[in-house]
Amino acid sequence: MGTVSIVAVILWWSIPLCIKVETNAPSAHQKKEVTVIGYANAFGSPYLIFWLIIFSLVFATSQSTGQVILGLATIALLSFLEVVDSVRDVRALNLAFVSTKPSEFLTQTQETSHTLSSVGLRFSEITPIALLALQVFYGTGHQAVISTIQWKSAFLLTSTLTYPLSPLLVILNSFGPTFVFTLAVPLIALWNTPPLPYPPSTAHNASLRAALGISLYYATLLLGSAISSAWLRRHLMVWKVFAPRFMVAAVSLIVVDLAVVIGFGIGFGRIRQAVGRVFRNMPGANEAAGTKQN
């Protein structure tokens, strides 16, 4: 399992993009036609593959019922991305109809791309993914009590307790669902986002806002758990209910921040560099991909 994942990461790092460039010359007197397959989702498709590599590790360490929940949650995530993309298209059409020059909005020129980007990311689009991460955590059989830790996952690869492999498998089994669905948050900003003709750092800024949004969501949960634990510190069930929930909220925030750093820093960072190399010779591509031409 680990070897296959390492090989998959190396292949993704070497060839991160999911696009294909085809050149067609009908005759000697006609101009060449260049078709970029996968252009409309040049950011979202490679990030989805990056996410699926990490998802496979969490899937392998989960129980059978947990794997069913993870599969259904993945379907829900992809469906939600398509719904969000459709809603954004409707907002863009509404802007086009109320503008004085609707043709410019429909062609998405460089001058109107800044206005079109305003129909992008909203905090209300991040909240369902955060709720999905919480749902998957509890749906895979985990709770905020020590007795629900699935210790059998420590013996997934070996028949005896092996350090540090066994503890890592238990951690991946317990907090992997939260990690992997937090890692999917940048897809909200990257899904069906072409590299042109959007203004500089549009995808970068939207991905960063998505990452900060889900971190803020879990930080709010931690704050609420801390206030509840402090207010009910003399309650009979403080060490049975409130304190474990506070500890799980604290660890979950650390896991979310780690997922944000890996997803935005490594996943999106690598895709952004690859997009810049492919489209740097096109007008405006250097700015759209956030790179500079030598």
Q: Both tokens of residue 64?
A: 């059978």
Determine, yes or no, domain membership for 182.
yes
Q: Are strands 33-37 and 20-24 parallel, antiparallel or unpaired?
A: antiparallel
Report which of residues 105 and 30 the model is more confident about. 30
Nearest to 287 by CA among 123, 94, 62, 114: 114
Determine, yes or no, domain membership for 294.
no
Band of pLDDT at residue 44, cut at 50, 70 and 90: confident
Residue 97 has pLDDT above 80, yes or no: no
Our separate counts of H helices and E strands in the chain read 12, 2
Q: Both tokens of residue 260?
A: 């944000």
Domain count, the chain: 1
Band of pLDDT at residue 276, cut at 50, 70 and 90: confident
Determine, yes or no, domain membership for 154.
yes
Contact status, residue 19 vs residue 277, Cβ threshold 8 Å: no
- Reported as half-sphere exposure (CB side, CA atoms, 13 A), residue 251 has a value of 14
Determine, yes or no, domain membership for 165.
yes
> Where are the alpha helices (H) located in 197-283, listed in sequence order?
202-231, 243-260, 269-279
Domain that holds residue 260: 2-289
Band of pLDDT at residue 68, cut at 50, 70 and 90: very high
pLDDT at position 119: 53
Determine, yes or no, domain membership for 84.
yes
Band of pLDDT at residue 283, cut at 50, 70 and 90: very low
Determine, yes or no, domain membership for 117.
yes
Overall pTM > 0.75: yes
Determine, yes or no, domain membership for 122.
yes
Determine, yes or no, domain membership for 190.
yes
At 102-144, the pLDDT tens digits run 555 555 544 444 444 445 677 888 999 999 999 999 988 888 8
To the nearest 10°, report the CA torsion of 53, 51, 270, 11: 20
Contacts of 223 (CB under 8 A, 6+ apart): none
Residue-averaged pLDDT of the chain: 78
At 200-222, the pLDDT tens digits run 467 778 888 888 999 999 999 99
Query: How many CB atoms neighbour CB 270 within 10 A?
Result: 17
